């Protein structure tokens, strides 16, 4: 079958190739009256034959390439069939309502959701921490009544700040503490005097139910006020 194809191609190619040189040869014969030796009919014939041979050899030269192309095509087709079968199997396996697909989709969604949340966390974390630091800083003085203090980081611990009055005398410590509430962290500042007495407690931030426990919150505020502190938000 392969050879038939090649023959058909070569014969088709050869016919027009053979007729064209014939014409050019005739033209040459007409335009050469000036004593040039006229080409013999045999020469003319041999020219045609030679051109035909040339064309043929060109086709023959192309033939291995065509064969390789054909083989490549067949290989591609076979690979495509394998892929198709594999794809169908996969499709059956991951059909919209098949168990593996349910797991796959849910897992992918969970991964995407976690990625989104962690991205938002990375973006907002510095700002949220800065806000908390600000809130802490503004709450530090509230636990010492009556005095205008300046606070500096203590060498005792990271969450302890030393409060000094205008003369530079140490008056007490503001301790930043946090505790787990029912809904998130409750952050507080506790004031401790140099006489080791609690001078006040201020709640800096909390996420407990606000409105529903309004009365309880007020109770807490009174209690904090009696300690010499208060509630910030």
Owner of token pair 């006229």: 38
- 216 near another protein (CB under 8 A): no
Instruction: Tell which one of 46, 106, 138, 145 touches another protein (CB under 8 A).
Output: 106
Instruction: Tell which one of 92, 96, 180, 196 touches another protein (CB under 8 A).
Output: 96
Backbone angles phi, psi at 30, to 5 degrees: -75, -40
Q: Which stretch binds another protein (CB under 8 A): 53-61, 124-132, 159-167, 185-193?
A: 124-132
Instruction: Tell which one of 13, 22, 28, 208 touches another protein (CB under 8 A).
Output: 208
Spatial separation of the C-alpha atoms in residues 101 and 109, rounded to whole Å: 12
Instruction: Tell which one of 201, 205, 224, 228 touches another protein (CB under 8 A).
Output: 205
Q: What 3-state class would DSSP assign to 153?
A: strand
Going by the DSSP 8-state scheme, the letter that residue 194 receives in this structure is T
Q: Which is nearer to another protein, 29 or 102 (CB)?
A: 102
Q: How many CB atoms lie within 10 A of CB 67?
A: 13
- 97 near another protein (CB under 8 A): yes
CB of 133 to another protein, least distance (A): 12
Q: What 3-state class would DSSP assign to 208?
A: coil
Spatial separation of the C-alpha atoms in residues 144 and 173, rounded to whole Å: 9
Instruction: Tell which one of 68, 75, 83, 117 touches another protein (CB under 8 A).
Output: 117
Instruction: Tell which one of 4, 33, 61, 127 touches another protein (CB under 8 A).
Output: 127
Q: Which of 196, 204, 220, 80 is nearest to 136 (CA)?
A: 204
Q: What 3-state class would DSSP assign to 110?
A: helix
**Binding residues vs another protein (CB under 8 A):** 96-97, 101-102, 105-106, 109-110, 112-114, 116-117, 120-121, 123-124, 127-128, 131, 183, 205-212, 214, 233
């Amino acid at each position: 079958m392969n050879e038939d194809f090649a023959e058909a191609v070569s014969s088709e190619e050869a016919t027009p190739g053979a007729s064209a040189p014939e014409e050019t040869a005739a033209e040459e014969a007409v335009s050469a009256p000036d004593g040039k030796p006229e080409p013999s009919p045999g020469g003319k014939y041999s020219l045609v034959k030679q051109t035909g041979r040339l064309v043929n050899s060109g086709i023959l030269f192309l033939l291995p390439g065509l064969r390789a192309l054909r083989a490549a095509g067949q290989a591609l087709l076979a690979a495509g069939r394998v892929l198709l079968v594999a794809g169908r199997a996969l499709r059956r396996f991951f059909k919209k309502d098949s168990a593996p697909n349910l797991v796959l989709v849910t897992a992918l969604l969970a991964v995407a959701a976690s990625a989104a949340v962690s991205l938002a966390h990375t973006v907002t974390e510095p700002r949220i921490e800065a806000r908390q630091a600000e809130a802490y800083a503004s709450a530090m003085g509230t636990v010492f009544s009556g005095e205008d203090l300046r606070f500096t980081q203590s060498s005792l611990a990271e969450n302890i700040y030393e409060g000094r009055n205008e003369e530079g005398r140490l008056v007490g410590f503001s301790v930043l503490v946090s505790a787990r509430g029912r809904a998130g962290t409750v952050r507080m500042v506790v004031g401790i005097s140099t006489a080791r007495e609690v001078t006040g407690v201020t709640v800096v931030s909390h996420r407990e139910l606000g409105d529903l426990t309004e009365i309880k919150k007020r109770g807490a505020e009174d209690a904090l006020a009696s300690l010499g502190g208060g509630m910030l938000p």
